[in-house]
Structure 1
Amino acid sequence: MARRVAGGRGGTGVKAPGAGVKAARRPELRLPPLEPYDGAGLEPDGDYDGLEFREADFAGQDGGGARFMDCALTGCALDETRLRHARVLDSVLTGVRGVGTDLAESTLRDVELVDARLGGVQLHGSVLERVVVRGGKIDYLNLRKARLKDVVFEGCVLVEPDFGGARLERVEFVDCVLKGADLTEATLVDVDLRAAAELDIARGVERLAGAVISTHQLLDLAPVLAAALGVRVDGGAEGA
């Protein structure tokens, strides 16, 4: 089994000094020696343990209900790959790419996703725990009604991510660009947005209770917050 080492900022989940917010636990995975995967493709309910998938093309394949344990997926194509109800545990995914990957109602635990290029990923109803998303770009990430705990988005670009109805606990956005995020009916607990490189919330700004933002971000969000609260901002007549 991969050895997990708590690392990064606040790896123990304690509150950062003066921040009033608990930091996410960041696992660092040390995979055991891996065997190259030599199978023909994914299988529903397949069991993949201690394997290395390198430059594999899984486009259009069905791996629903599969379990990946102590695996490394590098440069794999995941276009329209069906992985609903999959379990990805103690694994590292590097440079994966694809559009329409279906991971709905899946479990990702102790996972690193590095330099991914994905679009329209379906993760609604999924559970993410001790997950790091580092680098890369993900367009239209669907996390509706998902549960995220100890998740870090770092140095990545998220275009129109949908967190509608999701629960985010100890989630950090570090040097991460959020464009058009949807927080409708989301629940935020110890969510740290202060280090986000760009914070653009399209819907659900009133759900930011439970998050911490910087003074600069507050000023940027002021018009959206005022609109959500029904506040009309009037600079007053000139010369008054």
Structure 2
Amino acid sequence: MSSRMPDGRSSRVREPLRPKLGASLTSAEGSALDVVDDGSYRALEYKGADLSFRDAGAVEFEGCRFVETTFSGTRMRRGGFSDVELQRCDLSNMAATSSTMLRTSVSAGRLTGMTWSECAFRDVLVEDCRADLAAFRFSTFKNTVFRDCTMLEANFQNADLTGTRFERCDLSGAQFSGARMAGARFADCVLLGIGGVTSLAGVTVRSRDAQGLLHSLAGALGITIED
């Protein structure tokens, strides 16, 4: 399936590439259960691990699976997740800067208050997650899908959301000021009270979703709506 960008270019809409995990993963134990500067962790499976409140830079996770693992309160700089699965994990209040997610799936997780600013996401699926108050300011998204997520007051200020898809998400009160959104798509989403509504130029919105934009658009244009 493809759509047409405002400048006439064709933008292909497809599912994000799935993580590439090895046939067998090694159970994480010992030093692998810590997160340290310049740490590199490959082909590991973390189950019920506590990686919360760490503070590290240049950390790389590659080909790993995390199940019911917590990163709550962890701070990461120039870190990376590539070919990673995060299942039922707690990333609440995690803070990452200048970090990346590549071919990563995040499912049934808690992302409340998570901050990934000035980061890059490519081939990422975020599904069935609670991500209220999550912040992605100045981040770049390529071939990324948010599906069945609660994203109340999420912040995408100045993010590049070109081609990003939001499916069946509650984005009430979300902030999109200064975002680049050409080719982005909203399907069966709640868009009540979103900020930066004028940044939605070039997006595709289903007709039933557009009703939720009415008051935000009117406010941005100085229009008063009376009963």
TM-score by length of 1: 0.85
> By how many angstroms is 1:180 displaced?
0.9
Name the SS for the 1:99 alignment partner: coil
- Select which of 23, 26, 37 maps to 2:13: 23
Does residue 96 of structure 1 match 2:86? no
Which segments of structure 1 move beyond 4 Å, counting only runs of 4 or more? Answer: none
Does residue 155 of structure 1 match 2:148? yes
Partner of 1:56: 49
> By how many angstroms is 1:60 displaced?
1.2
- Give the structure with higher Rg (CA): 1
Is contact 2:40–2:59 with CA below 8 Å preserved after alignment? Answer: yes
Number of aligned positions between the proteins:
219
Is contact 1:55–1:77 with CA below 8 Å preserved after alignment? Answer: yes
Structure 1 residue identity aligned to 2:177: T
Is contact 1:169–1:189 with CA below 8 Å preserved after alignment? Answer: yes
Does residue 224 of structure 1 match 2:224? no
Identity of paired residues, percent? 25
> RMSD across aligned C-alpha pairs, in angstroms?
1.9
Distance 1:194 1:138 in 2: 18
Q: Greater CA deviation, 29-38 or 110-119?
A: 29-38
Name the SS for the 1:221 alignment partner: helix
Structure 2 residue identity aligned to 1:104: T
Cα-to-partner distance string for 1:31-60 (whole Å, 9 max, x where unaligned): 111111113411111001111111110111
Distance 2:191 2:165 in 1: 13
Distance 2:14 2:203 in 1: 13
Name the SS for the 1:185 alignment partner: coil
Distance 2:120 2:201 in 1: 22
Distance 2:140 2:20 in 1: 25
Give unpaired runs (5+ residues) of structure 1: 1-9, 236-240
Partner of 1:47: 40
Does residue 183 of structure 1 match 2:176? yes
Distance 2:115 2:97 in 1: 5
Is contact 2:171–2:192 with CA below 8 Å preserved after alignment? Answer: yes
Distance 1:82 1:149 in 2: 24
User: 1:210/1:154 Cα in 2 relative to 1: closer, same or farther (>3 Å)?
Assistant: same
Name the SS for the 1:227 alignment partner: helix
Q: Greater CA deviation, 160-169 or 26-35?
A: 26-35
| Structure ranking higher in strand proportion | 1
Does residue 126 of structure 1 match 2:116? no
Is contact 2:46–2:66 with CA below 8 Å preserved after alignment? Answer: yes
Cα-to-partner distance string for 1:116-153 (whole Å, 9 max, x where unaligned): 11221110100001100011201211111100111101
Name the SS for the 1:163 alignment partner: coil
Give unpaired runs (5+ residues) of structure 2: 5-9
- Select which of 129, 132, 149 maps to 1:136: 129
Cα-to-partner distance string for 1:146-197 (whole Å, 9 max, x where unaligned): 001111011111121100011102111112221211011111021110232x
- Select which of 51, 63, 76 maps to 1:70: 63
Structure 2 residue identity aligned to 1:210: G
Partner of 1:208: 200
> By how many angstroms is 1:30 displaced?
4.4
- Select which of 25, 29, 33 maps to 1:38: 29
